[in-house]
Homo-oligomer: A and B are copies of this chain.
């Protein structure tokens, strides 16, 4: 009888995560934990069960971009994968954005929300990306003081009704660059009461979002970041037609392949200023703080998933007379992975706790500084760790870690976006120095 290796398996990823459990037990009042634990357990069940199986079955599906219909009409249709369709419904129903804004548990609401995200993320095929931007957009609109947009869009972004909920994009990067956003070439022209944008956005995560925040330079403004304004736009009009924009193509990326990242041409796209006609870079800062924290959560969640799979496999794989988990060197490798993961988790959820306090207006001055400093620090650190851990875990599977249908290589491919998106290590290092020097506070 020929030998066949049994694959790694996942159980309920909440029940199997003592670190998460002990952290929450320490941080949350008992009654809060009691109240939210069923949600966490349910999400752990989904993530280790149905969603994980769907992710494996869905492996070869990718979003399909159709620029034209059969009769020549420009439609720029993007069909999402089955898992993304499922994740979209779940994200609304489970309140993966809403929880932070409903604030049922006051300053603990960010811990509540991001614990759910931590469980959801690694079985979601990076659906966390549009959610991060949606969260960031809601925070930014609320911070902007633009009452009309707050009333119009925030209820959509924070809805629990899949039919009503919107996700938001975040279109900043142009061909001139993502880090030095001051080089942006997009121009905003006044057209009566509204504005029309002209330019090309070079990386638009979630080209399928219903709205987006973006930067453009109102005609007549000076060069550099100071002359940019923050704009709000909806990607389609009420009839579903593109808002004077075309998707040139979807990016052919190393990872996050279920996420339709587009290159988008703005050809007179109708848009509204969010917070005045300049200072856009400053106005979008709340978004970046939120998305960078999500980036850290995604890094931690990915490491945790990789560690769980490696641990499961080590118990099932036999070599030299026993399971790998009994080999000292292999055991040391796994413990290294787990230790790095634990450190990253604790740092990231410290930032989450601080953000929750800040949003509940219960933060002191020192903690506010700490939040400011730890946000980029956690992002840059955990992102790099996520790549290293993914590579290490792939190696721990031997050849199986290099073969796509095991579902393992995607761990590395998806991780590599983390040190790039929303600020590379060097860019964030400079931001950190700026924060420490007190220059931008």
Interface residues of A (CB under 8 A from B): 2-7, 60, 64, 67-73, 173-180, 183, 185, 200, 202-203, 248-249, 251-255, 263, 317, 319-320, 327, 329-330, 333, 387-388, 391, 394-396, 398-407, 409, 412-413, 416-417, 419-420, 424-426, 429-430
Tallying the copies of this chain within the complex gives 4
Determine the main DSSP class of A at the interface with B: mixed
CA distance A6 to B317 in the complex (A): 48
User: Closest CB-CB distance, A107 to chain B, in whole Å?
Assistant: 35
B387 touches A399 (CB 8 A): no
CA distance A320 to B182 in the complex (A): 8
The CB with the most chain B CB atoms within 10 A, among A388, A399, A426, is that of: A399
CA distance A82 to B176 in the complex (A): 34
CA distance A178 to B397 in the complex (A): 11
The CB with the most chain B CB atoms within 10 A, among A7, A179, A180, A426, is that of: A426
A203 touches B399 (CB 8 A): yes
28 example contacts (A-B, Cβ-Cβ < 8 A) are as follows A2-B200, A3-B175, A4-B175, A6-B71, A67-B249, A68-B263, A70-B400, A71-B400, A177-B319, A178-B398, A179-B320, A180-B320, A202-B399, A252-B404, A252-B405, A253-B402, A254-B403, A254-B409, A254-B413, A327-B426, A329-B429, A387-B391, A388-B388, A391-B419, A394-B416, A395-B420, A402-B417, A409-B416
B72 touches A200 (CB 8 A): yes
User: Closest CB-CB distance, A382 to chain B, in whole Å?
Assistant: 14
Check A177/B403 contact, CB under 8 A, given A263-B72, A412-B254, A426-B330.
no
CB neighbours (8 Å) of A73 from chain B are 4
